[in-house]
Structure 1
Amino acid sequence: MFQAYHGVTSTQHQTNFNNLSAQGFRMISLSVYGDPGDARYAAVWVQRTGAAWVAVHGVNSEGYQSFFNNWTAKGYVPVLVSATGTAGNAVFAAVFEQGLAGSWMARHGVPSGPEANAGTFQNLNKTAHNQRMALRSVAIYGTPSDRRYMAVWHANPGFVKWHAHPSDTGESYQDVFNAEVQLPGYQLSGYRPSYVAVSSDHMYCSVFKDDVVGPWVARHGMSAADYQAEFDKQKAAGLYPICVQGGGVGSDTRYAAIFAKQDILMARQWSATGTPVPHLAALDHAMQAFMQAHGVRAAQLAIGKNGVSKFSRAYTWAEPGYRMTQPSDRFLLASCSKMFLEAAVQALYDSKQLTPTTKVYPLLGFTHPADARSDNITVQQLLDHMGGYDDTGTGSGFDPTYNMRKIAVDMNLGRPVTKLDVARYMYGRVLDFAPGTNTKYSNFGYLLAGAVVEKVTGKSYFDVVKTSLLQPASITEVEVFPTLANKRSSHQAIAEDEGLGLSPLDLSSTRLIPSVYGGDGEINEVGDPNDGTGASAHAMVQFIHLHAAWGNGPRAPGSARSGSTPGASTLAVSRGDGVDWAYTINTRDWAPGVSPSLDDLGNSLTHILDTTTIN
């Protein structure tokens, strides 16, 4: 049961308030807009029980502050806020509820400005995020030269991911919308607009979240007639408005609205698949605690001893309808991809097709380097991170594996790069240090070693891995993790990350895409030796029983390798007691300052393995 109206006067809104509240309705959306001297209201009401609540409208700044002070002293917290007018002549409306759990923050009259400047709307959003709060309701008012905001942030215990976009024109808001709804999460349906406020001059302040209300439709830039037509259409389809905000005066008024089948969030559910191991149930509990603290939807944990699988479990903490994670699912591995490259190179050493001192660039046929030292880089130096490249440290800080679009554009290729394109580009740059003289982590060194594998064998890198390493050991759950979403299959975990960037595959496009689909600058099919391989945790455990987790050679007790890239956090460990274990996690977005952290998870799992007999 819901009631909705728009374009009503203050008096009409008060009459509606009296009637609907008496019938057990409560507001889920409230907007004041137009001329402060003749403000108009839009509201949506639902008939349901809930916490005690109060509301105010038609007050100026002083009146709102008085109302705020009075009711917050009684334990009420603002949940809906709205404002119209200039900074010095604004009208406010709000709804407060009693008994809100957790921390909260509310402000009005907030200016726009750089995130680093204390007290700006952008800075307060950052502060709220860092204090594990999320933007609940917002209004944008003022003038173009003196933009103001009214906002309330609530506790975010489940670490719902959210983004605020303070001020967009209709066109730029559409670009924001197009980018946000691509971000992967619940069933690949993207982040949803949870709140879209409109100023008198038709600027949009929007909030996008990765929580779930089921099917939804969003529209903006609507006249009153447009909104009514859309309302009728969506109501007939079984949806109702859960957020309606107006901006402008008279016939110049424009509306933004979000329609959904429900306004109450879908709750996440916990599940685990794979054969339970009762005496290792503490491992399940550790994974559950971590995933729920950080809003992680999918993960795996696997353990083997002396080459025999002892534990292979997959975990899902997600809304109903999210595909349940399976132990055989492939996750993006990030830098745990590198252990396959090291084993492939070692196999070429063993077959005498390569030597550790083979010089890389001459082997590839490159001549006339920008830095003569480049011709002295050996294969083993690449594996040891001593090839002269410092991707992220005190050197150039340039990591070509995450700059494949830039490289293609700089080289005027007119197409996506290959491994050899990236290698040639780097051959034209000065090294960060003399090869063999320093150890600096380098993703590119592994991509370059992958190009060497392809040159020596005449096959694609992953074909070499599959035929020479995986198939002989009956390891099946390893593959190149496709860059594009439409290339991914149902047995590949949804990689979730908040980042956006430009495509390294579609060089003509200026449309932002999610980092996990190439917006991070990397093409997985090119960077498969360094970051782009996918596998299950079980497959990683099988592999490190035979090959070093870190370094090239056979199983290396006491070695470990971790990986982190947009949409992936992984770890593989070989212990001295014959136990190999690994986890895969489908994100690297963590709640700030929350325990258990990723390090805490690793320590907890290690402690359990230290104190439990693995038979």
Structure 2
Amino acid sequence: MKQLFKKEILVIILLFITGTMSSQFVARHAMTPAQYQTEFNNLSAKGYRVTSLSGYTSNGKELYAAIWNKVTGPAWAARHGMSSTEYQKDFNDKVSKGYRLVCLSGYGVGNQAKFAAVWDKSSGGTWKAKHNMTAADYQKAFNDNSKAGYQLQQVSGYVVNGTEYFAAFWEKKSGSIIARHNLNSADYQKAFNDFTSKGYHLKCVSGYQKGRTDLYAAIWEKSTYPLAMAKHGLSRKNYQHTFDNLYYQGYVPVFVNAFASSGADNYNAIWTNKVMKSADINKMDNAVENYMSTQGVNGYSFAVTKNGRLVFAKSYGYADKATNEIMSPNHSMRIMSVSKSVTAAGIMKLLEQNKISMNQKVFGPNSILGSKYATPSDKKKLNDITISQLLHHTSGLRSCNGEAEFWNKDKTYDDTMKMLLKSSDLLKFDPNTKYSYSNTGYFILALVIQQISGQSYENFIRTNVLNPAGVGSGMYVGLANGSVKSNEAHYTPATKQNMQLWAGFGGWVARPIDLVKYLGKVDGSTPPTDIIKASTHAILTQNTPLSPNYGCGWTISGDKQRHNGAHGGSRSWLAEIGDGYSIAIIINNAPSNDDNLSKLLNDISTAVKSVSAFPSYDLF
């Protein structure tokens, strides 16, 4: 039977809530008892204290989730894995020494109840606690304690041998709370929406499964509270994705509860945000959600820097709609033609290493590739092509990517280059006579990098561009068979091109966070310090009379660099948008009515620039 409790009592928040993102916290989940103990010891030695602790099981295995904060406070203690008898003994001992409960978790392991608890010596009113209560016992305890003026502070529901039990504690204070238990997911969501609309905030939520149904017990209280976010019933994977998503919006975790659910584990959690205004986040949410709904987009992820600092990132929708995996800022996605800017950066590094020149010939006698790929007799004009022309799309080469070689996982660069050289229409016009956007030019530039450096294209880029820029393993060239890697989003349609052969013109996969970090290192401004010289940046962004709006791998708009990408189920933007802002956006399916992707960039850019203030921190 679902119960509704309501009582006027004073509000106290038992969790230590971090005030800013500069506050230090650590959150871990799916820890075995030994892993939790090791983490506890290490973090305690560094001045962290446990502020939220939950024991639970997954496939019968005892696990823990916890939040630590580096804050000062009264003496404290925590214990886990206690039987009912051990918990009662510890309870009596702690009370006799002046400690009071601040966190309590009951959970079933096999056929017995276990407990984890956090105590401290904070001041406060008289308090009471009780565990192993049946639903009827819990109802009676709530009624009796409410009549005596005690406020319910925390409740933990758990199931042992098919019976639900509750552990809870109360404090004698005044204020307004609402508590409910034995709510299924839909009823809990309805209660949450109803109570929050009336000015209550969620203080505690505990999940437990009876039979095959996930149930929830929760406490709401009416008080002034910062911007908050609460989620329930998240799978382990989606809990991590949600955690990451909220972190990059300025939220910090204040409460976590995990519970056994059909052999796996589900998570409930609460976060607060003291560094962003709700109205500012709503501006960006509205822009993204409107774009997604009107363009039929499944998943959307973006990141924002201000003067080189990562100040915000957020993801929406699904990384894999078929499996209900939500999108996270840490999901990588194909960036397609934004890859050209990466290839151009690699060429700039070769310039700085004096291993290449902009006017150097690519084919023919004494050229970069001439000794490896002989110029066909019917294509002597290839010998006029220079590095600069390839970079600026003025080489006269037609574009590529539709040929069978680019879609065959077993084909190599040599196979593909030989195919192109045999192609009767490889040259559309004489080199250096007009502009024509060409994937082929950047495919050849990848070959140039390999030939000059003696390394694979990807290894050279990682060593000379990404590593110096501080970009890690979230950015990589995709797989030759066109499949997605672990933690890479899925695409609609799921095209299967050979991403290794596409590398130079469209094969890179990245997080938006990686892209804005990379851009900050090749944008000609500080901070942060660029990985290329100012003189090299001038070459990178220099257009030509034939390509007035295109530099080397970048579209140039005044002093702004930008490039987009589009193919199959991926669309992307990487752009400076003015006022010190740069933005990266990736979506994982084609929009229905935005062919040039102007709306994709403009809508969120307008929202970002209308934000009253982003925090002063750097989330990189």
Structure number with greater Rg is 2
- TM value normalised by structure 1: 0.46
